[in-house]
A = this chain, B = another copy of it.
Amino acid sequence: MDPASAFMSGPRMTSKSPVEEPATSAPLSSGPLAGLRILELGHFVAAPFAARLLADLGAEVIKVEPPGGDPVRQWGEQVNGASLWWSMHGRNKLSISLDLKKPRARDIVLGLAAQCDAVIENFRPGQLERWGLGAEALRRVRPDLVIAQISGYGQNGPHRDRPAFGVIGEAVGGLRYLTNRSDPTGEPPVRVGISIGDSAAGLYAALGVVAALWKRDRDGRGRTIDVALSEAVLSLMEGMLPEYGALGKIKQPTGSAIATAAPSNAYPTADGAWILIAANSDPLFRRLAQLIGRPELADMQKYVGNAQRVRNAEELDGIIADWSRQRPSREIFDELDGASIPASFIYTAADCAADPQFRARGMVREVVDPLHGQVLHAGIVPHVPEDPGSIRWAGPALGEHTEPILRDVLGLGAAEMNDLRREGVI
- Nearest CB on B from A59, distance (A): 9
Contact in complex: A210, B214 (CB < 8 Å) = yes
- Which of the residues B88, B188, B224, B372 comes within 8 Å of A239, measured between beta carbons? B88
**Which residues of chain B come closer than 8 Å to A195, judged between CB atoms?**
238
User: Ordered nearest first, which 7 A-B pairs have the shortest CB separation?
Assistant: A178-B193, A245-B376, A85-B239, A188-B266, A84-B242, A208-B382, A244-B349
Q: Does A236 contact B (CB under 8 A)?
A: yes
Contact in complex: B180, A190 (CB < 8 Å) = yes
Interface of chain A residues 89 through 126 with chain B (CB within 8 A): 89
How many chain A residues touch B (CB < 8 A): the figure is 156
Which of A71, A179, A284, A385 has the most C-beta atoms of chain B within 10 angstroms of its own C-beta? A179
Q: Does A355 contact B (CB under 8 A)?
A: yes
Given contacts A174-B349, A243-B85, contact A237 B163 (CB under 8 A): no
Interface string of A225-240 (1 = CB under 8 A from B): 1111011101111111
**Which stretch from A5-13, A294-302, A359-367, A396-404 is at the chain B interface?**
A359-367
Q: Does A17 contact B (CB under 8 A)?
A: no
- Nearest CB on B from A358, distance (A): 7
Given contacts A194-B175, A203-B203, contact A258 B337 (CB under 8 A): no
Q: Closest residue of chain B to A276, judged by CB? A: B171
Contact in complex: A33, B211 (CB < 8 Å) = yes
Contact in complex: B207, A203 (CB < 8 Å) = yes
- Which of the residues B32, B74, B89, B168 comes within 8 Å of A307, measured between beta carbons? B74
Given contacts A85-B238, A363-B234, contact A35 B218 (CB under 8 A): yes
Interface string of A23-41 (1 = CB under 8 A from B): 0000000001101000000
Contact in complex: A88, B241 (CB < 8 Å) = yes
Contact in complex: A276, B346 (CB < 8 Å) = no
Q: Does A1 contact B (CB under 8 A)?
A: no
Given contacts A84-B247, A203-B203, A207-B203, contact A74 B306 (CB under 8 A): yes
- Which of the residues B162, B242, B264 comes within 8 Å of A375, measured between beta carbons? B242
Contact in complex: B163, A340 (CB < 8 Å) = yes
Q: Does A191 contact B (CB under 8 A)?
A: yes
**Which residues of chain B come closer than 8 Å to A345, judged between CB atoms?**
171
- Which of the residues B159, B207, B306 comes within 8 Å of A357, measured between beta carbons? B159
